[in-house]
Amino acid sequence: MADDPDAFSKGAELVDEGKMQWLPTPVVAEAYYGVDTAQSSTTEQEIRNRLLGYPRIDVDEEIARKAGELLAMADDRVGGEAGVGANDAYIAAMAAVLGDAVLTANVTDFEALGVSVETY
């Protein structure tokens, strides 16, 4: 969403390999947050168009439960607050439930949550 050429290349590679790319609904929130900040030149219409082709995964009770578990385990491992936000916990939970990796440049938070991570 940030016009990162490495992210775009990784996405194209995944398409070429026939891998499914899911769009967690918390990422939708993050994308629109990015549009509405003063640092972004991306329009809401551009974000809508970019998000159209991805199947969504919503936060439901199973995802919320798993997110809570992952966040609690991350906090317990550091003996306090791990510094991981709720959105990342939801995204990690979705990856865990699907048995998939999170594709991100934010490796630290997702490793703290104990899920597989792929980067670009």
Which domain covers residue 33, as residue numbers?
Answer: 5-118
> Do residues 49 and 41 touch, judged by C-beta distance below 8 A?
no
- Count of the separate structural domains present in the chain: 1
Predicted pLDDT at 15: 84
CATH of the domain at 37: 3.40.50.1010
> Do residues 113 and 84 touch, judged by C-beta distance below 8 A?
yes
Mean pLDDT of the chain: 90
Choice between 49 and 41, residue whose per-residue pLDDT is larger: 49
> Do residues 93 and 66 touch, judged by C-beta distance below 8 A?
yes
End-to-end CA gap in the chain: 13
Q: Report DSSP letters for 79-109, one per residue.
A: TS-----HHHHHHHHHHHHHT--EE-S-HHH
Q: Which residues, in sequence order, are CB contacts of 76 under 8 Å at separation 6+?
A: none
pLDDT 10s digits, 65-75: 999 999 999 99
By percentage, how much of the chain surpasses pLDDT 90? 57
pLDDT 10s digits, 75-96: 999 999 999 999 999 999 999 9
pTM for the structure as a whole: 0.85
Predicted pLDDT at 2: 59
